Amino acid sequence: MLSIDIAHRQGDFSLECAFDSDARVTGLFGPSGAGKSTLLRIIAGLVRPDRGRVELAGRCVFDSRAGVHVPAHRRRIGYVFQRARLFAHLNVRHNLGYGAWFAREKPGRARFRQVVDMLDIGPLLNRRVTGLSGGEQQRVAIGRALLSNPAMLLLDEPLASLDVARRQEVLPYIERLSAESELPIVFVSHQLDELLRLANRRVVAVRDGRVTFSGPTAEFLAQPSLLGAEQAGDAGVLLRGKIIAHWSGDGLTEIACGRQSLFVPHVAHPAGSAITLHVRARDVMLACQRPQDISALNVLEARIEQLVADGDYAVNVHMRVGEQPLEARITRRSAESLVLVPGQTIHAVVKSLALAEQAWERLGGL
């Protein structure tokens, strides 16, 4: 679906990136200045690299050796920037129409209404964009890109310019887009929580113009060194589960992970929905015997696979809960006092409230 192998120099900055991805949503992760936006502009055809090759959905759009360079307007790319870049003199309806004007196949009324409903921008259609909030403007920008009938959608940190409240307003709409649309998406972010909600299958990590990781999101999340110093504490695993029931009186949702259950703060999806849960290694405690009379609701029986020293005082305990991985980061002293060894059955304790701010999403369509 996406194959990149390019080299490009821009002033003192050198970008050399090679990766392949066939995921519906590919997360492009890295700190500011890593080269993510430049790479996205190369994919879109807005920047011509010095050498290399770019393939989109099996179609070569750039090949320096063969002299191929498909211009941006012929690549059928929908591009959403960090700021909405809407036309201030037009209302929302006309901004959306500008995207449709560039479509190879003009969207009909049904497609227009589908996009408007998906992004919940129907009440905004006759308003000037200057009167919209930042979150509303970004939703309109996404709609404009979708109505251009793109073959691929590029989202270049579309939440970076928004405050926390507006980010939480827009995230569910992008999440819905990724779940309900067949459109391939490349989502750029330096925020781990955004990445886990929108690209929980495939991640490409970039730092200093180089690819440092390309592969499954679960493998990426398990390596603190890839997350950066500020987010290394969020290293852990992704648990896949299915909602069993909502306990409305307690404000909790029960989730099945294999033959065991987890209780978490209420999740706004119906029973039967498949979801992903981010469990941080630092939030997992271990006990040799199943603990009694404790406040934590979640005690999972696990099997230790490996113990890995992490610095002078910590140990990462890699486990399996059924067929799924789980990880705990504990002190070396704790590991020694519990006499932990591979193959041992252990009880992993996770506080429900430790999961309150972690990433939830439907898996359908990903």
Rounded CA-CA distance 28/185 in Å is 10
Residue 167: CB atoms within 10 A of its CB come to 19
Residue 331: CB atoms within 10 A of its CB come to 11
pLDDT digits (tens, 9 = 90+) for 183-195: 899 999 988 888 8
Between residues 254 and 177, the one the model is more confident about: 254
Flag the least confident range among 92-106, 123-137, 262-276: 92-106
User: 365's torsion region: left (phi>0), alpha (psi -120 to 50) or beta?
Assistant: left
Q: What per-residue confidence (pLDDT) applies to 364?
A: 36
Rounded CA-CA distance 39/7 in Å is 10
| Residue 228 and residue 206 in contact, taking contact as beta carbons nearer than 8 Å | no
Q: Which domains does the chain have, with CATH numbers?
A: 2-230 (3.40.50.300), 238-355 (2.40.50.100)
Based on DSSP, count helices (H) and strands (E) in the chain, helices before strands. 9, 20
Tokens representing 291 are 């603990």
Rounded CA-CA distance 284/340 in Å is 15
One-letter amino acid of 318:
H
pLDDT digits (tens, 9 = 90+) for 292-301: 999 999 999 9
